[in-house]
């Protein structure tokens, strides 16, 4: 059974040099302002009180939204970054800001930092299907945390990040499974939570990238975090152990699109921040992938031969190293 951890994720990420050339859609490019050097990590400000950490070298994209005495934090990247994420998120709010954490799905590049955050959060959420999967990752997460300083150093981290990672190493020795698993599992198509004065809608449109995907929608600010339902400008990642469903993944992307208008700021799971067009692009990519693979199956092409093919809709996408994996996953699903 394949599990996503930092080593595996960065392994295929290292093959995705094309992602370095990605850019924001013009509407969003004007909204991003690089923060001063005071935070530990390299955040971008999308609007007042709203920040995103969009770094292809450190796992899934993170969102923070400050409201009243609380800060909403969406996803936590890898273990060595968790404490720094917590410190920065608290810094975006008032002194002693409460943290409300949401994990968009169970994969380790989105939940690895939970160990530094869950026990300190005022509330924490994930889909109910994610909770046992996150708990099962405990040994891997703890082992990763025990190597946090080396991970920060190898990633070219700042002095402050390395210090933060070193503190994570010491703390990890006392972690228990409850330190990494969110407090509350949500179910149903829509769950509304609050973070300070902020109303946050958590949407689950069925199995897509995983069987526990959540969209995090903040209507007040017209912001949507899609989790890994969207890989912007990249080949999508398929995890056979994660409960993916490609045809419903298409539907989920379309349902996410319906939550947006032309001005919605959309934070994908990976790739640059954009607008609702990146949801449309994701659904079109998956639809074309399904059609192309089905045509190969109908011709009698083997899975191995199909995995070496490419089609025009794939041209110019990052994460080139996982293209074959995506083809194989869809082939297995369609072939039964």
6-335: CATH number: 3.60.15.10
Give yes or no for a contact between 157 and 149, defined as CB atoms under 8 angstroms apart: no
Q: Dump the DSSP string for 37-99.
A: S-SSS--EEEETTEEEE--TTSSS-EEEEEETTEEEEE---SGGGHHHHHHHHHHTSSTT-EE
Residue 177, classified by CB atoms within 10 Å of its CB into exposed (0-12), middle (13-18) or buried (19+), is: middle
Tokens of 29: 């490019």
Q: Where are the domains of the chain?
A: 6-335
Give tens-digit pLDDT for 282-292: 999 999 999 99
- Residue 38 binned pLDDT confidence (cut-offs 50, 70, 90): confident
φ, ψ at 54 (rounded to 5°)? -115, 90
Helix axis angle for 277-299 and 246-258, nearest 10°, is 160
The region of weakest confidence among 36-40, 106-110, 180-184 is 36-40
Give tens-digit pLDDT for 39-84: 999 999 999 999 999 988 899 999 999 999 999 999 999 999 999 9
């Amino acid at each position: 059974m394949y599990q996503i951890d930092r080593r595996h994720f960065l392994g295929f990420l290292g093959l995705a040099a094309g992602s370095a050339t990605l850019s924001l859609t013009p509407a969003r490019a004007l909204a991003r302002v690089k923060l001063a050097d005071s935070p530990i990590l390299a955040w971008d400000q999308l609007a007042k009180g709203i920040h995103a950490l969009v770094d292809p070298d450190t796992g899934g994209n993170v969102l923070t939204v400050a409201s009243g005495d609380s800060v909403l934090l969406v996803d936590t990247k890898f273990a060595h970054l968790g404490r720094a994420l917590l410190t920065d998120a608290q810094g975006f709010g008032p002194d002693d800001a409460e943290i409300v954490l949401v994990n968009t799905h169970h994969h380790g590049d989105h939940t690895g930092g939970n160990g530094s955050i869950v026990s300190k959060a005022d509330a924490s959420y994930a889909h109910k299907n994610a909770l046992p999967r996150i708990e099962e990752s405990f040994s891997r997460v703890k082992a990763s945390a025990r190597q946090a300083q080396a991970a920060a150093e190898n990633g070219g981290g700042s002095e402050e990040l390395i210090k933060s990672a070193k503190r994570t190493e010491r703390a990890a020795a006392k972690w228990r499974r409850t330190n990494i698993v969110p407090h509350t599992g949500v179910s149903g198509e829509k769950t509304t939570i609050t973070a300070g004065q902020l109303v946050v809608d958590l949407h689950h449109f069925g199995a897509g990238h995983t069987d526990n995907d959540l969209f995090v929608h903040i209507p007040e600010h017209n912001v949507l975090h899609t989790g890994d339902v969207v890989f912007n400008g990249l080949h999508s990642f398929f995890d056979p152990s994660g409960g993916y469903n490609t045809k419903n993944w298409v539907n989920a992307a379309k349902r996410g699109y319906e939550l947006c208008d032309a001005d919605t700021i959309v934070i994908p799971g990976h790739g640059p921040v954009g607008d609702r067009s990146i949801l449309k692009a994701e659904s079109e990519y998956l639809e074309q992938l399904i059609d192309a693979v089905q045509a190969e199956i109908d011709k009698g092409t083997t899975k191995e031969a199909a995995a070496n093919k490419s089609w025009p809709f794939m041209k110019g996408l990052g994460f080139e190293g996982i293209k074959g994996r995506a083809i194989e996953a869809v082939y297995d699903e369609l072939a039964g």
